Amino acid sequence: MSLSVTHDALRLRCLNLAKRIADDLATRQLTTGHFEQPDFYAKAFAVNLWTQTDPVKFGPNIDRALDALRSEPRDKTWHREFIEYALLDTPGLSSDTITDILRGAKPQRPDVANWQILGLINRQKRKAGLTAKLLNHAHFGFILLRYWRAPVFMDRPDCFSAQYHAFCTALLSDSPNKRHQRIANRATEMLGQLAGTHGFVNLLGRGAGQSFGATCGLYVLLKTGYPNEADAILHRLEDAFFRAGHLPLNLLAPAPLPENPGPENPQTPCWYSYNRHDDYLAFAGYWLLKASQLPAPKIRSHASENTSNKIVTQFSSSYYQAQMTLRGRQNFDVSGAPVIVSGHGKSARIFLPPTGGEQDAPSLYDQASNPLPAIGETEFARFLQTRQISDNKIDVSFELAGIVGHRIIEFQNARVIISDQIPDCAANELELFRILIDGNIGLTQIAEDTIICPELGIKLTANASLHMIPQATFSAAGQATRISAKTGQGNCATLTISWGGSDAW
């Protein structure tokens, strides 16, 4: 099969998925023009998607959505930057209509990269004079200074999210500004590394596993010549759509949407208080449609596998891929344990799921989801610092009960070794590790110090007794099994995760 046919096949799959989302949105739209679930910007992106897929078929839906946009109160929650971006990119929509919808709405301008870039691009589209160009130049300089830490975009200062890195990269890649595109090209390599052959492109940081980050990553990688990585992401999107019956908000736990989705519902993991299903559905459809319109690029080689910088580290072997975030302002921004994908390609499975999440916003995550040592269920370790001390070794320092401890994580070809040490802590309820494993993976404890996973050919062994508690808490992939160790002698323990061969059995 030629490369051009491969690209055309990917484009067609993107188009088919975008059309199915357009149909789904039309079904979910109410007679008022709003959607079943509350939304911030779904109507604007749905208008864009409907207009470009079938403006005749979706004509009534478009009219209702525009009327609903005009009637909404312009309060502090009105997402002007998102709405304006979608409307300005909608073919055939008159400037009078856009002005009418935006009248009285102020930009929000929060201190996060994607909002700042949206505001910049909106101004770039609507104003072409010298003053506007100078302002845009200064604004982009501010964005780079505050959020760009080559080769990654920070979600907010000093905090990385793969999802929002993908979003920022897609915004700049789609901009006609050549400087924007050059920065986007530098940021794309990281997305290729994160996606690898398994296609889980947004496992680190805020919004892990959510659909719109995956579609942004797909768009950029397909545009810049990474067809294999793009195909891997597209497979995850299609698989989640098939399993859930629609495109779910969270690809890591695809399931039919319950009647009351949200952070209080155990059936909707990785949802925060501000998440809106229809927002993310329309936004994902928008980027899938744009991906379907891309010309064939010059094909690049595969992204490199083992790459580290001061913010993100990765390790890949023939058995697994591991990812960690090394910096962040709060506990949930930093990886206490690696995210591990076992295997490669379409059969790859998430073994150690993302455990970061916005614990400062309503969600299913709580302190028990923090994969660091704790004393019982009342006192939990907090991060102090994470350092990469060699190509395959990480040192995580933490504080528990006023005492500083260390976690050393070592990545080997067929093993990951995690050693916890917290001196001078005599608490009887001290639990080391507290590693979370995807709750959908079957585990069997065959000895006090040994747990096996026959499905994936993985064995966990320790130099202390292991305790396994199914459905103990939540990760971004849903309910999680917790593995911990209570040391009878001393306050240090080592856990070894082994793949294949004699080491695994």
> Thinking of the domain 3-292, which architecture would CATH place it in?
Alpha/alpha barrel (1.50)
In which band, very low, low, confident or very high, does the pLDDT at 503 lie, cut at 50, 70 and 90? Answer: very low
Determine the average pLDDT of the residues in 375-397: 92
- Give residue 422's pLDDT: 92
How high is the pLDDT of residue 378?
87
Instruction: Give the separation between CA 89 and CA 81, rounded to whole angstroms.
Output: 12
pLDDT per position as a tens digit, 235-245: 999 999 999 99
Tens digit of pLDDT for each residue in 415-447?
999 999 998 777 778 899 999 999 999 999 999
User: Terminal CA-to-CA distance of the chain, rounded, Å?
Assistant: 41
Q: Does domain 312-504 have CATH number 2.60.40?
A: no
Partnered with residue 480 across adjacent β-strands are: 438, 473
Give me the pLDDT at residue 46, please.
98
Mean pLDDT, residues 460-486: 94
The 10s digit of each residue's pLDDT in 246-299 is 999 999 999 998 888 988 899 998 898 899 999 999 999 999 999 999 999 987
Q: What gap in Å lies between CA 35 and CA 285, rounded to an integer? A: 16
pTM: 0.95
Q: CB neighbours (10 Å) of residue 493?
A: 26
What residues does 436 pair with on adjacent strands?
482
Model confidence band, residue 504 (pLDDT cutoffs 50, 70, 90): very low
| Comparison of pLDDT for 131 and 4, the residue scoring more | 131
Contact 409, 387 (CB under 8 A): no
- Summarize the confidence of residues 188-211 as an average pLDDT: 95
DSSP-derived pairing of the beta strands 393-400 and 403-411: antiparallel
- Quick one: average pLDDT of 9-36? 97
The chain-wide mean pLDDT, for the chain, equals 92
In 273-421, alpha helices (H): 277-292
Average pLDDT over residues 67-95: 96
* CA–CA separation, 138 and 152 (whole Å): 20
- The radius of gyration of the chain's CA atoms, rounded to the nearest angstrom, is 23
Segments making up each domain of the chain, as ranges: 3-292, 312-504
Cβ-contact 41, 84 below 8 angstroms:
no
Residue 505 has pLDDT above 60, yes or no: no
Examine the pLDDT at 44 and tell me if it is beyond 80.
yes
C-beta separation of 59 from 46 below 8 A: no
Cα 83 to Cα 70, 98, 113, 265, 401: the distances in Å are: 12, 10, 17, 28, 47
Q: How far apart are CA 325 and CA 327, in angstroms?
A: 6
pLDDT tens readout for residues 310-353: 899 999 999 999 999 998 877 778 899 999 999 999 999 999 99
Band (pLDDT 50/70/90 cuts) for residue 494 is very high
